[in-house]
Chains A and B, each alone.
Chain A
Amino acid sequence: MRPLFLIPLLTLLPAMADAQSLTLNFTDSSTATQRTVGPASCGGVLPITYSAVTGGNVCKRLEIWASPVACEDVRGAAPLLASVPIPDLQLSPSITNDLDVAVASLPLFGDAACADFTGESQVYICGSYGVRQYVGSECTDVQASSEPLVIFDAEPPPVPVVTEVTPLDSALRITVEASDFARLLADVKLAEGDEWIRASGAVTSGRGVTIPQLTNGVLYDVRVLAEDAALNVSEPSAIAQGTPVQTQGFWGDYKGSGGSQTGCSAVGGGLSPAAFAALCALGLLRRRRS
């Protein structure tokens, strides 16, 4: 009787094994596979989410670790970041947990401290647990299917080169030649002044940055700094100069030509069917009265 009873069980367990899985992701993005950090993140953490479907037949605890080389199925001597004991996995055949990994604790810096490290280094976040495919079989490792990569970059990006300063209305747009930047920062000061101010409202778009809220007709000194994905900031560019000018767009041209339309921003911001119908009705009513 007993061998007959085991036959369906032995055929069932491999099928269950197919459903076993382990995934690791950055908590704030399920699609990003790598994250670049720098010295500015030394005091911070990287949120990692791990999800395991074990089926309950677990024989080795779940471990999450950091490895400077691509993940293998066992941790070895790599530093352990988190673990889940076997009884917990057996009780809950499917688990999802969040884990905050301190950047400074990752094996990225050799003998140096995080803040003192120079250059570039990387680690993979790895994970695995063990299961038995059927009763009496060996304990087999289930490895994480995803390997989030953490890159530590302590190198500042190259200094940008200002190629053009375009005068806009109450603003200056500075176009640069630069590579490997995520954002451009801009410093501004009066040409006759001494104190540089970081332009808080500067907007990076394409290969340039726009500094708003300046005064038309005033000569400004400007310089640009590149910031990379790891928040490293370059040295400032050479100083360039520009003077914002007063401009008039089509709306100003139309109003200046005697256009009688009054601004209607409240409606123009979004047209609902009800607003459309109400405006049509209003227009018809006004026509009948006139």
Chain B
Amino acid sequence: MKRAGLWGAVLSLAMVQIASAQALQVAQNRSESPRSSMLEVKLGSYLPMIDSEPGLTGTPYASTFDGAMLLLEVQGEAQFYQGFGTASVGLSVGYAEKFARATQLLPGGGTAPSADSTGIRVVPVRLLAVYRFDVAANEWGVPLVPYVKAGLVGIPYWMLKSGDVEEFAGERGSGVRVGYQATLGMSLQLDFLDRRFARDFDSGLGVNHSYLFAEYTWANVDNFGTGGLVLSHRGWFFGLGLEY
């Protein structure tokens, strides 16, 4: 009975602590500066599903590059709804590249590795609608913000050889592919780590909240299934977000 009483006291103390922290968080949110935008910087792997194109007789991407690219993206959002969660429109721009050795075509018909280089560069551009369920963070002090994104994707690409866009049978290896995407993610609101610093960040620079986040993206970038180069991808992104 004594042990049960002790545990009950500890639990009660912890609940009081959490409740007071939640009350403090909620009180701070009510006194914060107006917020209207979000800026994200994120890194992820980009493995284009080029080899999945129907009709391909080989796996040219895997044979040449054998691996994913590192994709860096910057995303800006303008919030248009703040109520039960936050809704916004966002535009992101990224960059990734991958290089490997080109293939030497031997006079007798075979191939061999060459000293020449070949590569692919992509600049994914995404126009997104974003919904963040930040009610729990702003009203109840739970520092987790799940979110969804959906929208259109355009990926300009350049396929290079010896540093220039490669030509094959009179066709240049550059263009743009379009498609759509959906993203699910979870943000960790960092304010709870140092509430005073977070408050100063807001009053000094106008940054209401900082986030670390992880998100998973499904992107179908094949000109809406009409054939040709498939730049679709699935993968994780990790990054830092600033809401201001």
Give A contacts to B, CB under 8 Å.
166-169, 171, 173, 217, 245-265, 267-269, 271, 275-276, 279-280, 283-284, 286-287, 290
Contact = CB atoms under 8 A, between A and B. Distances in A.
B159 A248 contact: no
Contact of B228 (A168, A217, A262, A269): A262
B176 A267 contact: yes
B115 A255 contact: no
Given A257-B58, A261-B229, A286-B223, A247 B114 contact: yes
Contacts of A246: 104-105
A249 B175 contact: no
Nearest to B65: A250
Interface in B80-130: 100, 102-105, 107, 111, 114-116, 118-120, 123, 125, 127
B114 A263 contact: no
Contacts of B75: none
Contacts of B225: 287
Interface residues of B, number: 58
B64 A271 contact: no
A271 B103 CA distance: 30
Interface string B165-186: 1111111111110110000000
Contacts of A253: 58, 60, 63-64, 103
A257 B173 contact: no
A134 to B, nearest CB: 48
B4 interface: no
Contacts of A268: 156-158, 165, 172, 174-176
> Which 3 pairs between the two chains have the least Cβ-Cβ distance?
A264-B175, A251-B173, A249-B161
B226 A247 contact: no
A217 B107 CA distance: 9
Contact of A263 (B56, B111, B172, B178): B172
Residue in A256, A257, A279 whose Cβ sees the most chain B Cβ within 10 Å: A257
Nearest to B58: A257
A169 B158 CA distance: 19
A280 B221 CA distance: 11
Interface string B140-172: 000000000000101011111110011111111
B120 A250 contact: yes
For chain B, what secondary structure do more than half of its interface residues adopt (helix, strand, loop), or is it mixed? strand
A283 B226 contact: yes
A247 B105 CA distance: 5
Contacts of A271: 123, 125, 154, 156, 176
B169 A284 contact: no
B115 A267 contact: no
A211 to B, nearest CB: 12
16 contacts: A167-B114, A246-B105, A248-B102, A249-B102, A250-B119, A250-B161, A251-B166, A252-B103, A256-B168, A258-B56, A264-B172, A264-B175, A265-B174, A271-B125, A276-B176, A287-B225
Contacts of B50: 254
Given A168-B115, A251-B159, A260 B227 contact: yes
B57 A251 contact: no
A250 B166 contact: yes
Contacts of A275: 176
Contacts of B56: 257-259
Contacts of A169: 102, 116, 161-162
A136 B197 CA distance: 62
A247 B103 contact: yes
Nearest to B155: A271
A244 B111 CA distance: 15
A258 B169 CA distance: 13
Contacts of B159: 249-251, 254
A260 B230 CA distance: 10
B64 A250 contact: yes
Contacts of A173: 115
Residue in B60, B158, B229 whose Cβ sees the most chain A Cβ within 10 Å: B60
A273 to B, nearest CB: 9
A251 B161 contact: yes
B200 interface: no
A250 B118 contact: yes
A257 B104 contact: no
Contacts of B160: 249-250
Given A249-B118, A268-B156, A271-B156, A276 B105 contact: no
Given A168-B162, A169-B162, A249-B159, A279 B176 contact: yes
B140 to A, nearest CB: 39
A131 to B, nearest CB: 47
A8 B96 CA distance: 66
B174 A250 contact: no
Residue in A217, A260, A261, A286 whose Cβ sees the most chain B Cβ within 10 Å: A261
A257 B158 CA distance: 18
